[in-house]
Each structure stands twice: as C-alpha cells, then as structure tokens.
Amino acid sequence: MHLLDCPSQAYAWGTAFDIPSFIGRAATGQPMAEVWMGTHPLGPAMVQGPEGAVPLSEVAGELPFMMKLLSAAKPLSIQVHPNAELARKGFEAEEAEGVPLESPQRVFKDPNPKPEMVYALTAFDTLVGFRPTAEILRILGPLDHPVTQRMHDQLAANPGFHGIVRMLEALLLEPPTPHEVHEVVALCHGRLALGLDIKRAYASATEIAPHYPGDVGVVVSLLLNRLTLQPGEAAYLGAGIIHAHLRGMCVEVMVNSDNVLRAGLTDKTLSPAGVVASIQADMSRVARVSPDLFGTSTDVFEPGDGLFGLAVSQTSPADVDGVLLPDGGPRILVCTGGEVEVVNAAGDAVRLTRGAVLYAGPEDGELRLRGTGEVAQAYRPTEGAHRARMLDLV
C-alpha cells in the first residue's frame, strides 16, 4: 500500500477554501477546482520511493480509472465526453497534426472515452441530459424572443431526440449575440417574478448568466434537466450525455481520460460538430445510480459498464473485525471523513485522515477498514459484479 501525493488543478471555476480544508492544505486564496488521483500523464499522483518521489504508474502501471475531488463555486462548461471510437479517432488526428497536448486548441488529450460518476459530498447541482420535447416546448414558448421562438418552431417541426440535437446544432453554429442572450435572460427573470418556472429551467438560466454573461450556453441550459444530488447520492454521466456541473463538492470516478467537447459556458474552444457527433440518444435522462449494499457498511455504485466502480464504506468501534472492502484488484482510496486504518491481507496498516489518499494493488489482497470514519474506493469491478441500478433522474 502506498500513500499518494496528488496534484491539484487551479481552474477558475473552483473554490478557494473547500478542497484545501478537505485535504488539510493551507488555502492560498486562489481557486482549487480538482485533485487528481490516478496515473493520467497530465496530472499523475506521486509515490515516495527509496530514491524520491516517482509517478504512481511506475508502481501500479497505467490504471484504467481515475478518481478526483471536485469543488465548484460557479458552473463548469456545458460538455459531452466522446465514446471510445470518437476518442481514438480524434486523438490520432490531433497527434498526426502535431497539436501539443498543452495547447488550448487541443481537444483530445488521450485516446480514451470519458464516462464518469459523481458522488456528492455536499449538495451538488448539475445539468444532465436533454429535457423531453414537450417540456422544452413549454419552456421556450412563453419566452417572447426571436431566438427562443426560432428554437421552438424548429423543434415543433422536428420533435423528438434527433430534433433536439438538430436544434442544438443550429444554435451552436449560429449563436445569438451577447445582447440577445441578455434579452432572453431578462425574459426568464420576468417569468420567475410571476412565479412561473418549469422544473427550474428559468432559474438555471438566471443563476448561470452572471458567471457567463452573453454566452450561448446560458440559452443551451434551458434544454437540460436540472438535478440536485444530496450528500451520499450519485449520478452516472456516460459518454454521450450532455451535462454541466453548477456548484458543490463531489468525488468523481471516471475512465483515465481528460477528453472534453464543449458547448458553452467557457472561454475555451467550442466543438459544435464534436458535441453533436458524440451525443447519444439513450443517454438523455437516465443518470441516478442506486447503490447496492456490500456487507452492512458499504454502498456500492457500479453503473454497469464494467469500466469503474465506487464503494463508500463507513466503520466504527462497533465493527470489531473491521469492515471488509469490496474487490481485490488495483484500488485508490480517499478518506472522506474521520480517522481510519486500512489493513491489507498481510496485516500491514496505513492510517488515513480526511483527504488522505492511498493506492492498494492486487498483491495487498483483501482490505479491511478500522477506526471511526468513511472511505471512498475507486476500482475496476470484477466481471459480472455490476451491483447498482440506473434510474431515471426525474
């Protein structure tokens, strides 16, 4: 077992104090948006070896999954993650063109898809998947503006999922002017003042607009379901589902990838064609992950694709023999509260306090948790062990 030193990312949408407080670092006053726990080359965790710190990959090889802490003070970009085929083709094309990995114009950072799951540590607000056609028409109809009326008429003439995608494509290729976006937001404020919102659509647009004034993504947000996860709840964002996290703190587990195709709420390059090509019809509403119980103290969240899983275990002195953690392959663990010991099959023990991160390999065998606290564990599920259920988010 190895304690990990994990890099952080200072994206502008991050919070200044939440992650530093969680991991026990001094806050600098600058945003700390993410902590990366894994072997991705753009942000590998480090292990202390006999001759100094080395990347985790030198101990564990390239892990197929990655875990993150994420804390958002304002909305992230509206985005879609590519599937395996699109990711591979996009990566190969940009490699052939010689686009540097660090370039702002680089879209595909690796050849992997990026399905991901979020597990809320605080109340966590996000936009996930397209609303049904009828709901979108009800939202756009009362907004008496040429932009929204044009969208309404396009969807009414071509309803259903593919009609929504075509409408989004037209909006991204010919976005409204910043002034037009401001006018749409003013109309949303007007509906809210009358108490006439539709499943938080107008509220979402008015909350986002001050952070990204005039951005086309403010209008796109009207098309997306608003979802609030309470602490301990999880949602799965498969490759091909459009989404935008709004605020809150979570643990993320994902395939070892950093591929993002953006559709608004960012100053980075938008990818209208890539977004449209990546959106999948069967990923519009199903997002909540209902956990199954492993033993008596562990919630297991496995979205069913076999790529990664998350197990959240609690222990107390009532667990005389400790709490057995699921799975025995490579694992990354982060303590999300309290103070615990992780004990491997050989009896070796490592103490974790909140924010501490640990890697355990197959050679460590089964792990047990002791103390009083909670640990989140990322892993690759054993084949056929998909324990969780996917639910309609609404």
Check residue 339 and report its DSSP letter: E
CB 281 within 8 A of CB 365: no
Report the DSSP beta bridge partners of residue 328: none
**How many whole angstroms separate alpha carbon 120 and alpha carbon 301?**
12
Q: What integer pLDDT is reported at residue 380 of this predicted model?
A: 92
**How many whole angstroms separate alpha carbon 68 and alpha carbon 23?**
12
Q: What integer pLDDT is reported at residue 258 of this predicted model?
A: 83
Quick one: which of 291, 298, 292 has its CA closest to 368? 298
Residues in the chain: 394
For the chain, which residues score pLDDT lower than 50? Answer: none
Q: What integer pLDDT is reported at residue 249 of this predicted model?
A: 98
Q: Three-state SS across 328-342?
A: CCCEEEEEEEEEEEE
Q: What integer pLDDT is reported at residue 14 of this predicted model?
A: 96
Q: What integer pLDDT is reported at residue 284 of this predicted model?
A: 57
Over pLDDT 90: what percentage of the chain? 75
* Structure-token pair, residue 165: 């995608």
Q: What integer pLDDT is reported at residue 285 of this predicted model?
A: 60
Query: Beta-carbon neighbour count of residue 338 at 10 Å?
Result: 16
3-state SS of the chain: helix, strand, coil percent to 5? 25, 30, 40
- In the block, tokens 């209208």 appear at 272
Q: What integer pLDDT is reported at residue 394 of this predicted model?
A: 52
Quick one: which of 173, 138, 132, 170 has its CA closest to 151? 170
